[in-house]
A and B are shown apart, each in its own frame.
Chain A
Amino acid sequence: MSQERYLEPHQARTRMPTLFEDLLGDSIERAFGEGVTTLPELVAYLNRVGPSGERGEAWTEEGFQALMKRLGD
């Protein structure tokens, strides 16, 4: 007899990711994969390769950090 059991692949997120978040994640992973290790390098990479910020703005260190805090913590 099989009973109900808990098997939930997504336990950390509270909603589906947005397309913007997926594109940003792709780009961050690519940057790290290419050897980026510092915040200024990462911000420069995003400004060069995209995507741009949520409202189309350029990335700054402060803006990136604030967004990661909101999405990560």
Chain B
Amino acid sequence: MNSRTIPISVDPVQTVLDNGLKDLWYPVCPSGFVKDQPVSMKRMGRKLALWRDGAGQVHALEDHCPHRGAPLSQGVILGDRIACPYHGVEVRCDGMVTKVPGSPGCKLEGQHAAKAFHVKEAFGAIFIYNSDDYAKEPKPLVLPEELTSDAYSNFLCYAEWRSDYRYALDNVMDPMHGTFLHKQSHSMSEGDSKASFQVRETDNGFVFEKVGQRGINFDWTEWADTGCHWMRLEIPYPKTGGPGGNFAIVGCVTPINAELCAVFFWRCRKVSDWMRSTWRFLYRNRLEARHWAVLEQDRIMMEQMEPDANSRENLYQHDIGLVRLRRHLKHLAEEQVEASGS
């Protein structure tokens, strides 16, 4: 092998894992990324074209015109349809070609020739259903109460990390790094630097937690599958954060390509009344910058990991959370490959 050899994954299970499991909702970007012009973005190993219609509804097609592959995202929005810039072919949000202006009545008209995706907008983000079959009814998108309940308030933090998305998942499933990597942070300086962990099953996934320590540091992390893969954790706030519940993070990681991933961290707090608006004021004024500094420690660490670091590891007890998740995702990928009959 010379250094120019590009490893090509031929294992279909690996391919599913590399691009993200199918039949799941993935957040792809903050809502504000899609305004009045179509946008192109790579997600889940695919190029997508996203746009809003006149009513503000977001639509997504593969950014590849069914005629000859020009980027639809360069085209013109016609409500729930988009006209390709190259020869004017019009494609509807469900993938059907509605008009071929250069050859009216040709057999491409009426065909579902473009790849379409179901879209939802929630909690400040745009979610795409990663499926090969638009006709298949998507699963409902269910997210945890920190986002859905009025008792909580949240801010989304979105970032793009130059790392395979699985390192970002591993990082969240590894609470012990809080004690070391974030030792100097505003919220994680307490707690035992030695701990044993256990896995506890939940209805939709599992919790990975420190035995006998809760509410002191980053002491537990949860992974769940509710039509979307998400993670949740809690970190105590210093007293200066004011009255209110712990600080919770709901996280999702979406693959972009092998070198890049999109991370979504909703920073949530159970606060009401004046405590809610005061927390929100402090978050805007100063807490966001402190949380960002902590997240930068994670990003820099993730970006410095060699792409194949996870093929040469010596894991120990702190790592059973991420081992458990890797195994589970691999198992899901195997099931999907089997079900697709390849």
Binding site for B on A (CB under 8 A): 2-3, 5-13, 17, 21-22, 25, 28-30, 32-33, 35, 37-39, 42, 61, 64-65, 68-69, 71-73
Distance between Cα atoms of A23 and B162 in the complex (Å): 37
Chain A residues with CB under 8 A of B160: 5-7
Which B-chain residue is minimally distant from A9 (CB atoms)? Answer: B292
Residue in contact with B280 in the complex, picked from A29, A42, A72, CB distance below 8 Å:
A72
Which B-chain residue is minimally distant from A25 (CB atoms)? Answer: B285
Chain A residues with CB under 8 A of B282: 25, 28-29
Are B274 and A73 in contact, CB atoms less than 8 angstroms apart?
Answer: no
Q: Does B335 contact A (CB under 8 A)?
A: no
Question: How many A-B contacts if CB must be within 8 Å?
Answer: 90
Size bracket, chain B contacts: 20 to 34
Are A33 and B260 in contact, CB atoms less than 8 angstroms apart?
Answer: no
Contact status of A32 and B284, CB under 8 A, knowing A9-B289, A65-B274, A68-B277: no
Chain B residues with CB under 8 A of A12: 155, 283-284, 288
Interface centre among B240, B241, B284 (most CB of A within 10 A): B284
24 residue pairs A–B, Cβ–Cβ below 8 Å: A6-B158, A7-B159, A8-B158, A12-B155, A12-B283, A17-B285, A25-B281, A25-B285, A29-B240, A29-B282, A32-B240, A32-B243, A33-B238, A35-B239, A37-B242, A38-B243, A39-B274, A68-B274, A68-B277, A68-B280, A69-B277, A71-B284, A71-B285, A72-B277
Tell me the smallest distance from the CB of B328 to a CB of chain A, in Å: 28
Which B-chain residue is minimally distant from A35 (CB atoms)? Answer: B239
Distance between Cα atoms of A64 and B289 in the complex (Å): 24
**B245-282 near A? 1/0 per residue, CB < 8 Å:** 00000000000000010000000000000101111111
Are A11 and B260 in contact, CB atoms less than 8 angstroms apart?
Answer: no
Q: Does B136 contact A (CB under 8 A)?
A: no
Distance between Cα atoms of A72 and B274 in the complex (Å): 10
Interface centre among B157, B160, B277 (most CB of A within 10 A): B277
Distance between Cα atoms of A56 and B333 in the complex (Å): 63
